[in-house]
Amino acid sequence: MIRNYIKTAWRNLMRNKSYAAINITGLAIGVAACLLIFLIVQFETSFDNFHTKKDHIYRVGTNFSGPDGEHFSSGTPLPIAEGLRLDFPQLKLVATIFQNDGSHYTIGDTRKGEPVKKFREDLSYYAEPQFFQMFDFGWLAGDKKTALSEPNTVVLTQDEATKFFGDWHDAIGKIIRYENKRDLKVTGILKNTPPNTDIPLKLVVSYATIQLKDGDYYGNLKDWVSTFGDHECFVVLPDNLSPERFNTDLKAFVKKHKPADYAKDGFKLQALKDMHYNTDVNVFGGHQFSKQLINVISMIGVFLLIIACVNFINLATAQAVNRSKEVGIRKVLGSNRKQLIMQFISETLIITLFAVVLAIGLAELALPMLNKLLEINLSSGFLSDPVLLLFLSGVIVVVTLLSGFYPALVLSGFNPIAALKNKVASRRTS
pLDDT of residue 408: 64
> 148-174, pLDDT tens digit by residue?
999 999 999 999 999 999 999 999 999
pLDDT of residue 429: 43
Which of the 8 DSSP states describes residue 427? S
Distance of CA 138 to the CA centre of its chain: 18
Which regions in the chain score pLDDT beneath 50?
424-430
Dihedral sign from CA coordinates of 47, 49, 53, 54: positive
Assess contact for 74 and 234: CB atoms under 8 A: no
**pTM of this structure:** 0.84
pLDDT of residue 424: 46
pLDDT of residue 425: 45
Q: What residues have CB less than 8 Å from 247, skipping those under 6 apart?
A: 268, 269
Distance of CA 170 to the CA centre of its chain: 33
What is the full DSSP assignment across 176-202? EEETTTEEEEEEEEEPPPPSS-SS--S
The overall average pLDDT reported for the chain is: 85
pLDDT of residue 334: 53
Cα three-residue angle 328-334-339, rounded to 5 degrees: 85
Beta-carbon-side half-sphere exposure of residue 410 (alpha carbons within 13 Å): 18
Dihedral sign from CA coordinates of 34, 35, 40, 41: positive
